[in-house]
Amino acid sequence: MKIFRGILFLLFIFLVIAIVILGYLGFIPGLSDLMGSTKPRDLGIKYTQADYDSAGEKNKVKIIVVDSAPDIKSSIICSGSQAIEASFTQEELTARININSQNWKYFPVKSVQIKINQDGTAESSGLLLIDNIEGFAKATEFKDIDIQKVLSKLKFVRKEIPFYINISPIVLEGQANVVVKKAELGRLAMPQDFSEQYKQDINYYISRLISSAAFPGLYVTSMNLNGGQMNFKGRLPESITTAKKIVEL
């Protein structure tokens, strides 16, 4: 009987530890909320409407928001192309991504903070919107990954998963050279060798995403981080039209 009670006690301890760990990692609704694991890391970056407006004056991209579109592909339309050379602060970038995220149905993240460090690295945290990933991939014609197959295997419990990433990014003539120093999904850290093991794939997909194939009119001649700012030279669309919802005709 004592042995039986001992086994039950050990099993109980094991379950408690497992629940606590999974809750901390962000995969148990309710408990994860109490533990703060469903919230993105606070990087201390605050933004205002003035930051958004300032970034818009620099990149000269006109944002047009419509109520609806008939399909995924037409939910975001890039028009024209213009040469741009400008530097953006972390507050301007944070403002731009958060305010624009409210205007497109398939924007894949929200509650984002971007922090640019003096050593040329950048940190970003926010919420990954699981239900928007497939629509985002289709809208940007990401045909070389079966997004639906990947998502079905992952089987996320939550629809909004916190993420954190620390990277050293450089882009030259449209080719990305990004080193991932640290990455987390929920509170689950990617293995230390993640960056080296998948470096070629990471840079291929980033290069694909920042090309005119994904967003017509976009071309990055150079992009780097220096002096606490992102320095950009290249071409951007003259206007981007986004829809808040899809209404099939």
Residue 141: count other Cβ atoms within 10 Å of its Cβ.
Answer: 11
Per-residue confidence (pLDDT) for residue 204, from 0 to 100: 85
176-222 pLDDT per residue, tens? 898 888 888 876 777 766 667 778 888 888 888 888 888 999 999 99
pLDDT score of 26 more than 70: no
79 and 22, same domain (yes or no): no
Query: Is 66 within the bounds of a domain?
Result: yes
The mean pLDDT value for 17-43 works out to: 61
24 and 74, same domain (yes or no): no
Say how far apart CA 220 and CA 200 lie, in whole Å.
19
pLDDT score of 66 more than 50: yes
30 and 88, same domain (yes or no): no
8 and 114, same domain (yes or no): no
234 and 162, same domain (yes or no): yes
Average pLDDT value over all residues in the chain:
82
149 and 217, same domain (yes or no): yes
56 and 31, same domain (yes or no): no
14 and 81, same domain (yes or no): no
How does residue 94 score in pLDDT terms, banded at 50, 70 and 90? very high
217 and 135, same domain (yes or no): yes
Query: Is 178 within the bounds of a domain?
Result: yes
29 and 109, same domain (yes or no): no
How does residue 24 score in pLDDT terms, banded at 50, 70 and 90? very low
Domain of residue 109, residue span: 49-246
How does residue 11 score in pLDDT terms, banded at 50, 70 and 90? low
Q: Report how far Cα 40 is from the mean position of its chain's Cα atoms.
A: 12
Token pair belonging to 96: 């731009």
Per-residue confidence (pLDDT) for residue 145, from 0 to 100: 64
Contact 162, 126 (CB under 8 A): yes
124-149 pLDDT per residue, tens? 999 888 888 888 888 888 766 666 66
Closest CA to 232 of 96, 139, 100: 96
Most confident option among 10-14, 23-27, 105-109, 154-158:
105-109
Per-residue confidence (pLDDT) for residue 144, from 0 to 100: 61
Q: How many domains does the chain have?
A: 2
146-186 pLDDT per residue, tens? 666 666 655 566 788 888 999 898 889 999 898 888 888 87
Query: Is 42 within the bounds of a domain?
Result: no
Per-residue confidence (pLDDT) for residue 61, from 0 to 100: 92
101 and 130, same domain (yes or no): yes
